Structure 1
Amino acid sequence: MAKVAFIGLGVMGYPMAGHLAKKGGHDVTVYNRTTAKAEKWVSEFGGRSAPTPREAAEGCDFVFCCVGNDDDVRSVTTAEGGAFSRMKAGAVFVDHTTASAALARELDAAARKGGFHFLDAPVSGGQAGAENGVLTVMVGGEEAVFAKAEPVMEAYARKIGLMGEAGAGQLTKMMNQICIAGIVQGLSEAIHFGQTAGLDLEKVVEVISKGAAQSWQMENRHKTMIRGEYEHGFAVNWMRKDLAIVLDEARRNGSTLPLTALVDQFYGDVQAMGGGRWDTSSLLKRLGNG
């Protein structure tokens, strides 16, 4: 059992922190910007809540974080009242936020200066993966620090991989989002084509999902896409946030990502349709179906 803190109890962080308490058996302190959410978590899982990230982190062996973007991460780490001001020597801060690689390197340097450790560890698997404790975690940092943190993260993860030095976890997550963007657009076009052609799409998917066209998106999203339901996963607003990080990094490192840039524009069209909170499969809606 370790003494841990979890900062950020959104749709991902709330169940992840819960697994640390129930499955991992750890002594968990939580912080959330909305106090009522933290109090609800404590009533469900036990442990305690803290009024600031700094107080949540005090005396902890591990501090986990899952918030919104780079600025949100800074607000709970290096800003006044942030966790970094109270991290004990040798402790590990694990950031599960999907953020920039530049931020990961910045926080790694700050942690080293403060005498503790930092891992960037974005996750994939969505809300369902967090609730079921089967997330994929992509980690950047030192191997020895990763070895300390991995057994704790196993409470909510099915696969945890060390991808390289600080920032490598975020770069891996960017690759993940690049793949998803292209796959969802292709699946949307295929369903649009099949609907226009008058095919029985359930029969079609039953066949093509057993061949080279198979994907997680096809298996898990085709039914809701056919029904025109877009409340079942990662929101368009968040995907655009992630793709902005991807495209900014591509400009920095000289990568050419024409499909990713195009799909990002398509998600902008979905936002203009009022679909910012629809899930990412709503690219089909833009094509006039669903």
Structure 2
Amino acid sequence: MSERRKVSFIGLGVMGGAIARHIALAGHELTIYNRSPERARKWSDDNPGLVHRIAANPAHAAQDAEVVITCVGNDDDLSEVVLGPNGVFRMLKKGATFIDHTTVSARIARQISVEARDLRIHCVDAPMTGSQIGAEQGTLTLMCGGRDEAIEAARPVMEAYSARIVHVGKAGSGQIAKMANQICIAGNVAALAEAVRFAQASHLDMDKVYEAISGGAAQSWQMDNRWQTMNADQFDFGFAIDWMRKDLGLSLDEGRGLGVSLPVAALIDQFFADIQAQGGGRLDTSAIIKRLPKKGIS
């Protein structure tokens, strides 16, 4: 492993909990914090021997830390955790490194970077892709924005849970890259849903169709991981529609600011809204297929 660091991890959701585990298993001294204390206690109970301490608040988590990592919900959550009265930047020392894995706006990423620069803290916005499976296996792709020296300071810890670390550009660039990623995923999963319904209505052998088309230009991560589950009406896993709508909202807002039209993303966002209206907001994004009727399918 790289040099042992004092690492504090804030936000123990599906992705964050798995990442924190890899950090501890890599030999780093781990402090954890979660807004819901019971989740932090449960994580500690489920991972005996991996936690150095459970912090009382984000500032407490940052005390004496060399690296602080956040993986929370949205812009407001991140602002409170980092810049609030009990935020990370109240206690994080000069020369330390701050890494954020939350998918948020480029605006808040840039704001935090400016605050970090004034405090002489290395700062990296590093949204991720690779799904829950990637987090559990430690094979995530990280899209990083920040200064060269900040990326290099963060790299030894980020390598514990990622297979690819890409320095996209200056502060906020990681978030812009993640928006592009989400636009692609939304279009991909929507087209896949139509293909599945089309093949079902034709009464084809779905395994044979997958075998035929997954080896060519139509192949994608979504096809490899969701063709069978969409065909079986299984949606209780993966990345929730609620979160995808949040991410597409960020993309559409950024597009408006850039003067860029995103008609396909806007249309698919409304398709996801249809599933939310049916009570399916917590289902995996592949549940977009539920808005397409099963024509002639028993």
* TM-score normalized with structure 2 length: 0.95
Q: Does 1:287 align with 2:292?
A: yes
Match of 1:11 in 2: 14
Match of 1:27 in 2: 29
Instruction: After TM superposition, list the pairs within 5 Å mapping 1:230-269 onto structure 2.
Output: 230-269=235-274
Match of 1:105 among 106, 110, 115: 110
Question: Any idea what SS the aligned residue of 2:123 has?
Answer: strand
How far the C-alpha of 1:197 sits from its partner, in A, is 1.4
- Distance of 2:252 and 2:8 partners within structure 1: 32
- Distance of 1:159 and 1:84 partners within structure 2: 28
How far the C-alpha of 1:57 sits from its partner, in A, is 0.5
Match of 1:88 among 67, 87, 93: 93
Structure 2 counterpart of 1:285, one-letter code = K
How far the C-alpha of 1:230 sits from its partner, in A, is 0.6
Structure 2 counterpart of 1:12, one-letter code = M
Instruction: After TM superposition, list the pairs within 5 Å mapping 1:114-125 onto structure 2.
Output: 114-125=119-130
Q: Does 1:205 align with 2:210?
A: yes
Structure 2 counterpart of 1:136, one-letter code = T
How far the C-alpha of 1:40 sits from its partner, in A, is 2.3
Equivalent residues of 1:42, 1:48 under 8 A apart: no
- Distance of 2:134 and 2:229 partners within structure 1: 18
- Distance of 1:206 and 1:186 partners within structure 2: 18
- Distance of 1:46 and 1:268 partners within structure 2: 39
Unpaired runs of at least 5, structure 2: none
Q: Does 1:39 align with 2:44?
A: no
How far the C-alpha of 1:101 sits from its partner, in A, is 0.4
How far the C-alpha of 1:168 sits from its partner, in A, is 0.4
Equivalent residues of 1:120, 1:170 under 8 A apart: yes
103-112 or 124-133, which deviates more: 124-133
Instruction: After TM superposition, list the pairs within 5 Å mapping 1:54-93 onto structure 2.
Output: 54-93=59-98
Structure 1 segments of 4 or more deviating over 3 A?
none
70-79 or 42-51, which deviates more: 42-51
How far the C-alpha of 1:131 sits from its partner, in A, is 1.1
Instruction: After TM superposition, list the pairs within 5 Å mapping 1:180-191 onto structure 2.
Output: 180-191=185-196
How far the C-alpha of 1:136 sits from its partner, in A, is 0.7
C-alpha deviations, 1:1-22, integer Å up to 9, x for none? 0011001111111110111001
Question: Any idea what SS the aligned residue of 1:199 has?
Answer: coil
Question: Any idea what SS the aligned residue of 1:252 has?
Answer: helix
- Distance of 2:51 and 2:109 partners within structure 1: 31
C-alpha deviations, 1:109-135, integer Å up to 9, x for none? 011112212110001112111111111
- Distance of 2:94 and 2:29 partners within structure 1: 19
Structure 1 counterpart of 2:38, one-letter code = A
Equivalent residues of 2:241, 2:272 under 8 A apart: yes
- Distance of 2:254 and 2:203 partners within structure 1: 42
How far the C-alpha of 1:255 sits from its partner, in A, is 1.0
Match of 2:182 in 1: 177
